[in-house]
A and B are shown apart, each in its own frame.
Chain A
Amino acid sequence: MEQEILIIRDLQKSFGETPVLNGVSLSVRQGEVLVIIGPSGCGKSTLLRCLNGLEPINSGEIEFDGKIITGAQANWNLVRQKIGMVFQNYELFPHLNVMENILLGPLKVQKRPKAEATEVACGWLERVGLLDRAEAYPRELSGGQKQRVAIVRALAMAPEIMLFDEVTASLDPEMVREVLDVMLSLASQGLTMLIVTHEMGFARAVADKIIFLDGGSIVESAPPDIFFANPSTERARRFLNIFEFDEDKKLGVS
């Protein structure tokens, strides 16, 4: 077994009086792909955001690479270089072109030599099929292209873990595939990934483990084959039913 790279212990988070995460514990091994699913408002996005220090946590701790990264001595600027994040709405910087977007982190934060960073960036752009758009500005790209660039931007920092927060939720249906394909190939290459998504087919294909989150806690955690074929809890079963349309005709339109 690979070693555990990320361990979350009893994570609690609330917005004001409203609890969002009620004691989530979870560990991720090197090279593992975890897909987190659950109804809206279950706390799955918040969980990812806590891992990147975008939301302060109330209690519990997060261990990364054998070190506790939460608490008073937290240095998120350092951690964020090793935990990459991709957002639902791409969040490319509109005033920078594709290459400048990708190089911002490596050059300014990691102070890597420009030639080397550019070479790495070009390599990634080529892999996602966008090398010819390196000089384009975000407004000139389609949603799918923007999201692929955003993935490359995070990868260019050479992170140890990648967080994907509903990265296909804003895309037109025909563009979802090109983004998911990139993620699938990253998974097969052994990148450690935490993915929040509503694409159940994709979840099944890419995940080593499915985490089903509901009401701020982990209700079920299982390999995809077992989870999708035979969920062990009633809540998971009801959730999965939402994605089935066999009953369509009976409902009809009255």
Chain B
Amino acid sequence: MDFNFIIHCLPLFVAAAKLTVTLAFFGIALSLAVGALCAVANYYKVPVLKQLANAYIEIARNTPLMIQLFFLYFGLPRLGILLDGKTCAIVGLSFLGGAYMAEAFRGGLVAVSKTQIEAGLSLGLNRFQLLRHVVFPQALAVAVPVISATAIFLMKETSVFSIVALPDLMYLAKDLLKEGHSAESNFLLVISYLVIILPVSLFFSYLERRFRFAGFGS
């Protein structure tokens, strides 16, 4: 391996990795927000919103991110909606992720037993207090493993962002391939993704353990 080449390219990979992390961060944060909204609409059986949320979840979960991005980036401008690459990436990732997060939250919410809710009611808690102090903390504990798996899945999905012309890690690796240093650029590509994903993955397994120990089984 040509270490001079690696050192020469390192700043490029750092910049690309930063872009990936930034987009993933906003995409995952928005996914959580969208997912929570859908799950609440579903949980409280809000008319119309519930049906809309369910239709959205099915559509987003049953189509690949790549075609969603293609449609956003190449289709929408022709309908008069122009989004730049970064916006497309974040919108696309949260469109996909929101549906998965909604399912994660839903699973947590249905896991809270009816009798726990009655215990909360019998203390005189109102609907909001019940959600805030009884339902949500318990639902979250059940949802955490699914949320973390989804977040990591979304981080990995960011690897397709070069199709909306974003200079991310894959884009860079493909570019360097032309210069004939494939071993070095592949090595940097793998290391970059490891540096991004491993800490997140370790953080989530720590979180899961904490929630398990705070755990349950009354």
Contact = CB atoms under 8 A, between A and B. Distances in A.
Interface of A: 52-54, 76-78, 80-81, 84-85, 87, 89-95, 104-105, 108-110, 137-139, 146, 153-154, 157
B121 A104 contact: no
Given A91-B218, A94-B215, A80 B123 contact: yes
Nearest to B116: A91
B16 to A, nearest CB: 41
A76 to B, nearest CB: 8
22 contacts: A52-B121, A52-B122, A80-B121, A81-B123, A81-B124, A87-B118, A87-B122, A89-B115, A90-B218, A91-B115, A91-B118, A94-B215, A94-B216, A95-B214, A108-B129, A109-B123, A109-B124, A109-B125, A109-B129, A138-B218, A139-B216, A139-B217
Interface range on chain B (Cβ under 8 Å from partner) = 20 to 34
A120 B133 CA distance: 21
A94 B218 contact: yes
Interface stretch (B26-34, B86-94, B134-142): B134-142
B121 to A, nearest CB: 7
A247 to B, nearest CB: 37
A94 B134 CA distance: 9
B59 interface: no
Contact of A139 (B118, B119, B120, B215): B215
Interface in B196-218: 214-218
A77 B134 contact: no
A46 to B, nearest CB: 13
Given A95-B214, A108-B133, A77 B122 contact: no
A91 B73 CA distance: 51
Interface string B76-120: 000000000000000000000000000000000000000110111
- The interface centre, meaning the residue of B115, B124, B125, B215 with most chain A CB atoms within 10 A of its CB, is B124
Instruction: Give the 3 A-B CB pairs with smallest separation, nearest first.
Output: A91-B119, A105-B123, A85-B122
A55 to B, nearest CB: 10
Contacts of B217: 94, 139
B124 A157 contact: yes
Nearest to A53: B121
A90 B133 CA distance: 17
Contacts of A153: 123
B141 A95 contact: yes
B62 interface: no
Given A89-B218, A91-B218, A80 B129 contact: no
A109 to B, nearest CB: 4
B70 to A, nearest CB: 43
A81 B122 CA distance: 8
B138 A94 contact: yes
B123 A104 contact: yes
B125 A92 contact: no
Contacts of A110: 124
B125 A108 contact: yes
Contacts of A81: 123-124
Given A78-B124, A105-B125, A138-B218, A93 B115 contact: no
B122 A54 contact: yes
A154 B218 CA distance: 18
A139 B129 CA distance: 23
Contacts of A108: 125, 129, 133
A76 B29 CA distance: 38
